[in-house]
Amino acid sequence: MNVSRTRRTFLGAAAAAAISGAAGCGGARGTTWRVFSGHEARTLDALLEWIIPEDDSPGARGAGVSHYIDRQLSTHFREHRQAYRDGLAATDRLAGGDFAGAPRKQQQAALRKLQRDPATRPFFNLLVPHAMQGFYGNPRHGGNRDFASWRMLGVPPLPVRGRSQYDLTAGGGNAKS
């Protein structure tokens, strides 16, 4: 028996399983989403923009809150995946099929229904604290892009142990020298 062939066969099967497992999570190949489809991500972004709107500071979209939630659903919030899928589908239904593409008045009406309907209220009550965590939390967890909320509040970024403080210039994310 050829050991290297067996190892290659095993590694190939493991890689195929990992790829199909990732695709089964909902994230499409070639996208930055781990769990959400492109449509679900658009719906989530539009919904989050109502919860934390942009003004003179970035809102949820600018701070990358949807990426925080997507990232957490692939790890720590794994048990909430179905709640998000069902909640985002319900949000689209309440808006007539496409929440992100609906006019603002229609979005607002759908959001009110989402908050008040006993069937969708648990999703909304899950979404709001996750949105706050993604907006105000440490950027290393996938949200609060470029320290958006910390800048808004005038809070200096926390140093990361063993590294220089983050650079807050427009490029952001690089350590100062």
* Distance from C-alpha of 92 to C-alpha of 8, rounded to nearest angstrom: 45
Instruction: Using pLDDT thresholds of 50, 70 and 90, give the confidence band for residue 156.
Output: confident
Q: Which of 26-30, 61-65, 128-132, 152-156 is predicted least confidently? A: 26-30
Instruction: Using pLDDT thresholds of 50, 70 and 90, give the confidence band for residue 20.
Output: very low
* Distance from C-alpha of 58 to C-alpha of 134, rounded to nearest angstrom: 13
Can you give the pTM of this predicted structure? 0.73
**Residue 66 pLDDT:** 96
Whether 94 and 114 have beta carbons less than 8 Å apart is answered as yes
More confident position, 9 or 100: 100
% of the chain surpassing 70 pLDDT:
72
For residue 12, report the phi and psi dihedrals to the nearest 5 degrees. -65, -45
For residue 175, report the phi and psi dihedrals to the nearest 5 degrees. -75, 145
Q: How many helices (H) and strands (E) does the chain have?
A: 7, 0
* Distance from C-alpha of 59 to C-alpha of 55, rounded to nearest angstrom: 7
Which residues on neighbouring strands pair with residue 166, listed in sequence order? 175
- Which of 12-16, 20-24, 107-111 tops mean pLDDT? 107-111
